[in-house]
Structures are given as C-alpha cells and as structure tokens.
Structure 1
C-alpha cells in the first residue's frame, strides 16, 4: 500500500535529501526514512533512481529543477508523471507546482529566504499556487520559521544547513512540519 505524503512526514519529520547514488543507497537502507527528496539525475537515469526509492517503500519527490535534460516548463512535469513512478515534485517554479497538482502529484514549492522580498513572495504566492508543502532554505532560522508558520496555512519544511539535532529541533519547535537534509547523521536521529 502506498504511503501518503502527509502521513509519512507525520510519522517521521526527517526527510532524506539525496544528491548522488551513495546517498540514495544509504537512505533506502534506513527503515525510519519515509520520504526522499531526489536532488540529482538526468532524463536517462531518473526513472531508475525513482524505482530504487519506490522499491524501498519510500515516497519519491523529484526536484525537477535539478534534473539534467529537463526544461523548466510544464512538459517536464508531464514527462516525470508519464515516465517515472515519482509521487511528486519539488520546484522553485509556481507554474510547475500547478501542473503537478493537475496531474495529482504531491508538490513542494521551494523558496530561498534571502531577504524580506523573498519572505513577502511566500506570503503572496501561497494563495495562488497551493502547494502541499513549502520548503524554506536555509532551514536553520528558527525565528523566521516561527514567524512564517504563524502567517501561512501551508505546512513548512525547513531545509538547508540542517546538520545536527539542535538545528532539527530548532526548526521543528519553531513550527516546521518537517526538515530535509543531505546530512547522513541527521537521517539517523
């Protein structure tokens, strides 16, 4: 039976973000990891990468912006839906989130919180884009995450610079629903 994204995050709020085959093999061997953010691959390898994640019984979320050979247009989401077993996408592009939602895929809209303008973009776009989750980077900003979680209705995933138990707990205590990390030590917390 396929695990639902929300339930998987609720069961374990630590998401493994993988950037190479070594990371993929490691996270697939960990029974406590339920969601995998795929941050690597190309149009020739992505189906096999997703298949490994699915065979391990995990939810496969592809960061569509990072897959070599894919455009940043909606057709890329259709390609992933039709040619892989991916459960959903991660992207910085609102149009791709809309397309993925049309195709009944899970969606994570990623933002880089560099300044107050980026923060304001989150507040304004949450009403028009409707992703399942918003991921904010860097995630090691509990004060900002707390403020953001109080102002938006979309669950927040904190990612980037999540390197230890302290940063995980800081993000979760501030209101993040989950954290994503490429750090193997964090996956084992």
Structure 2
C-alpha cells in the first residue's frame, strides 16, 4: 500500500484523534470526521463494545497493544484481536508487529526518540519486520530526524505526543511528519490538507 493511501486510512487532515478515556472516545465518534481513532485506553472487556460503536460511526480503531489490558501479548492474543475485527495496531514491540501483520492488520510501530542512539536502535528493531508506518514520540522531533528515518525505512512517518496547539501540529507537519496523533479534543478537527 502506498504511503499516501496509509495516511488517508488514518486521517483526513493531519490529526488522528487519540482518546484516553471513554468520554473522549464517544466525543471523537460523534464530533470528529476522521476515519480512524488511536485508542489509548481500555482492556479486553470493553474492546468489543468500542469496536461495535466505532463500526456504527464507520471508524477504524487503532489499538495500542502496549496499553490494552487483559489479552495475551502473543500469537493467540493477536489472532483473537484480528477475529474481533481490530484492523490496525500500534506497538513498540517488533514481535507483536510481525504477528499482527501475519494476522492481516495494519501495523504502526511506535518509536520513542530521546537521542541519536534511539534512532539507531529503532532502525535495528525494524530489520526483518516492515510495519505500515512509523510513529515517533515526541512529535516535535527535528526535520532532519524525520528525513533520516523516512529515508532509512521508506515508511510514512507519523508523530505523537506533546501536541498542545494547532501551531504545534503545523510545525510537526512542516518538519516532514505525514500526520500526528493528539489527545486534545480541540485538535481533532481536520485542517491543513483542505
């Protein structure tokens, strides 16, 4: 799938809403025109209800595997999520990303950047495993880092974390990020791409 196609699956502007609780999730369903939501809360007990509600609003849920409680973080757990209808996952763990790819899910690999050694480590994690996109945290990384990782991986580069205003998002996009995830409701409406 082409980079632009992946980004269009995730958002219709530059922002992927990232609700941290049920109230924000409901708000995103009812008030955001984005096609996907990045789920930053929940467990295996509430996930079926969230998936049903998302389908009602024709939205895709990106399940953050590292934040989802109560499921086995192994092949059986990943297959279970795929059978439940989870179409996309976010993870920091390559082994879970590989399993999700095998189960037919879209995979976003999340990479925390604290220094240049983290870039090398992150790229090494991706050897033998190709996610659909890479999400950098924080989203306020320099343009040179975005360009370097884009060139090294050939993946669309997303960002997450520390987005407090539309100006922050505009700066992140100017640095080369294809889109950002944001947990603040006021940032969820699309802007920029027209």
TM-score (norm 1): 0.89
Alignment partner, residue 42 of structure 2: 41
Aligned-residue CA RMSD in angstroms?
1.8
State the shift of 1:79 in Å: 1.7
In structure 1, the partner of 2:150 is 149
Aligned 8 A contact 1:159 1:179 in 2: yes
Instruction: Give, in whole Å, the separation in 2 of the partners of 1:126 and 1:170.
Output: 27
Partner SS for 1:29: helix
Deviant stretches of 4+, over 3 Å: none
Q: Is the 8 A contact 1:149 1:176 kept in 2?
A: no
Unaligned runs of 5+ in 1: none
The answer to which structure, 1 or 2, has the higher relative contact order (CA under 8 A, 6+ apart) is 2
1:160 aligns with 2:161: yes
- Classify 1:169/1:53 alpha carbon distance in 2 versus 1 (closer, same or farther; 3 Å): same
Give the structure-2-normalised TM-score: 0.87
Q: Which residue of structure 2 lines up, in the alignment, with residue 75 of structure 1?
A: 76
Q: Name structure 2 gaps, 5 residues minimum.
A: none
For 2:103, the equivalent position in structure 1 comes to 103
Matching of residue 140 in structure 1 with residue 143 in structure 2: no
User: What displacement does 1:150 show?
Assistant: 3.9
Q: Is the 8 A contact 2:82 2:104 kept in 1?
A: no
